[in-house]
Amino acid sequence: MNNKVKITFLGGVGEIGKNMTAIEYSDEIIVIDAGLTFPDDELPGVDIVIPDFSYLIANKDKVKAILLTHGHEDHVGSLPFLLQYVNAPVYGSRLTLSIVENKLKEHPKVKLKAVAVKPRNVLKLGSFTVEFIKVTHSIAGALALSITTPAGTIVHTGDFKIDYEPIDGQMTDLTRLGELGRKGVNLLLCESTNVCRKGYSMSEKTVGRTLETIFESHKDNRIFVATFASNIYRLQQILDLAEKYKRKVAFTGRSMINISEVAMKIGELHYNRENIVDIEKVNKMDDKEVLIVTTGSQGEPMSALTRMAGGEFKNLKLKENDLIVFSASPIPGNEKNVYKVVNALYKLGADVIYDELADVHTSGHACQEELKLMHSLVKPKFFIPVHGEFRHMKLHKELAMSLGMEARNIVVATLGLQVELTPNSIKEVGYVTAGQRLVDGYGIGDMDSNVLKERKQLSEEGICVVCVNINNIAGEVTGDPFIITRGVVYAEEQEAFVQDAKAAIIASLKEQDLRGMEPAVIKSTLRRKVSNFIFKRTKRRPIILTIVTLD
């Protein structure tokens, strides 16, 4: 009997975000996570970035299940797009599936077959047997996976940390992980996000104690707390403090309002509804009675806190002595946006506390000692680091080797890589199509899209539109050319630039016999002449649009 299992990496390796892994045996595939990532400055106008899952679309009849480790966007965000092509049941914790269902309201044509699971539930999915294992993360309902396959047991940690003081009282199920390790685990897929950090991650309760000190020392201030909407444990501590210090709570930001409602309905978040007020009522309340929980901890341009900092939030104006707590650390790449908001808040006279000043945030990802504990419990024969940039995965390989694993038993994967696992071997066997797909409004494109190239050119070089009317019989330009530029020259130079450009266009066209010439040929010639003129004048290469009308 063939006992070879293939593992295909469609996202989450060599990068942070858009996590997606496929495990395949014979004609059966199970998919772990379907995440997204957010665009950087190199992708102007793009809303989100999702994996290229054309491999799954080509094998859609083989996909038996989609398993979700938890409800963060980098693990569930591309699910609405995958489900448009792959009709498979989706398994996850109750909170994870509630977040997915809420997300699918924006995709009404997508059908979801949701199956809620709990820790230690075991499912038979064709040739695979999947057990869900409780892990602690920065969101409730996080699960690791133990997958029994014909090639042996595969453990996928998902995102995790080992918090000895979890808010819900249920820490990572180290007992079950140890039992699996004693029985024998063939392959460990373990997250690598915080492999660069020594020691242990800070407990969530430490953040709660810091927040309580802040509440105690700012009894007369309005308090604003910006955090991740998905961090239910943080929200629970904040809401408990509000009740203790007799403050009414107003939520701002769509995601904050939606997730708090979802989490309360399923019992993951507990609070007294009478303690919640609409943001419109805050201005009529005493400062000491107010707590505002808001989005915007990453300096997102359209978030509630960013609009408050810019004086553009219609329901509330910030004032001196307001206290703003950033209960989150900047995601790498967001530092500039975050500190821009912090500076704006200071200019308004507000007091600001962020992670560099106090323990107001802790990561949900395992640091080095926690990763070592995971390896030591599971005792895998083979190891593949996941959920990290290449540097993270390389360091995670070195960490595993420091614990005694041989380098030949470790694979550092790249996007599209297929790995073949047998009971006694692991090897790379090839690549499938993988990478990025760009979601922009209702459109989905790729990195080679002309739309993206043109946007970059527009943002960097500008645009010039030239309209010329030509008498095709006489071969003469009739009237002045009409020229519009955007992003090419400064206002004070505009008039002289346009006049000189018109003169250059007329002079260049007079050099040619235009009688009977095709408009396409005239447009091409005109575009080249205008481009050369602008480059000599400005050293720029804007997009040139030419319109030629014939009398």
Longest Cα–Cα distance in the chain:
92
What's residue 324's pLDDT? 95
Query: Is 3.40.50.2300 the CATH classification of the domain at 204-353?
Result: no
* Distance set, CA 320 to CA 222, 348, 354 (Å): 10, 6, 18
What's residue 451's pLDDT? 75
Whose structure tokens read 């769509």? 254
pLDDT band at 254 (very low <50, low <70, confident <90, very high): confident
**Mean pLDDT estimate for the chain:** 91
What's residue 139's pLDDT? 93
What's residue 448's pLDDT? 61
Residue 183 has pLDDT above 70, yes or no: yes
pLDDT band at 255 (very low <50, low <70, confident <90, very high): confident
* CA neighbor of 95 nearest in space, from 58, 137, 131: 137
Residue 1 has pLDDT above 60, yes or no: no
pLDDT, one tens digit per residue, over 371-415 is 999 999 999 999 999 999 999 999 999 999 999 999 999 999 999
| pLDDT: which is higher, 456 or 468 | 468
* CA neighbor of 306 nearest in space, from 333, 283, 339: 339
Q: Which amino acid is present at 230? A: S
Q: Do the bridges between strand 28-32 and strand 482-486 make them parallel or antiparallel, or are there none, so unpaired?
A: unpaired
Task: Tell me 62's DSSP state.
Answer: G
Tokens coding 59? 């094998």
| pLDDT: which is higher, 57 or 472 | 57
pLDDT band at 58 (very low <50, low <70, confident <90, very high): very high
Question: How many Å apart are CA 538 and CA 236, to the nearest integer?
Answer: 57
pTM attached to this predicted model: 0.85
Most confident of the ranges 232-246, 272-286, 517-531: 232-246
Give the side-chain half-sphere CA count within 13 A for 165.
Answer: 12
Q: Do the bridges between strand 290-294 and strand 443-445 make them parallel or antiparallel, or are there none, so unpaired?
A: unpaired
- Average the pLDDT over each of 73-77, 160-164, 223-227, 300-304 and give the range with the smallest value: 300-304
What's residue 415's pLDDT? 97
Residue 474 has pLDDT above 80, yes or no: no
Q: Where in the chain do CATH 3.60.15.10 domains reside?
A: 5-38+46-199+363-445
Averaged pLDDT, 173-200: 97
What's residue 356's pLDDT? 84
All residues at 6 or more sequence positions from 62 whose CB lies less than 8 Å from its CB, including other chains: 24, 27, 28, 29
| pLDDT: which is higher, 207 or 439 | 207
Whose structure tokens read 């050369």? 532
What's residue 430's pLDDT? 95
Q: Where in the chain do CATH 3.40.50.10710 domains reside?
A: 204-353
What's residue 446's pLDDT? 67
* CA-angle at 201, arms to 34 and 13, nearest 5°: 30
The dotted CATH code for 5-38+46-199+363-445 is: 3.60.15.10
* CA neighbor of 117 nearest in space, from 82, 167, 155, 67: 67
Question: How many Å apart are CA 541 and CA 462, to the nearest integer?
Answer: 8
Other CB atoms within 10 A of residue 257 CB: 17
Query: Is 3.40.109.10 the CATH classification of the domain at 450-550?
Result: no
Q: Where in the chain do CATH 3.10.20.580 domains reside?
A: 450-550
pLDDT, one tens digit per residue, over 107-151 is 888 999 999 999 999 999 999 999 999 999 999 999 999 999 999
pLDDT, one tens digit per residue, over 338-351 is 999 999 999 999 99
What's residue 12's pLDDT? 95
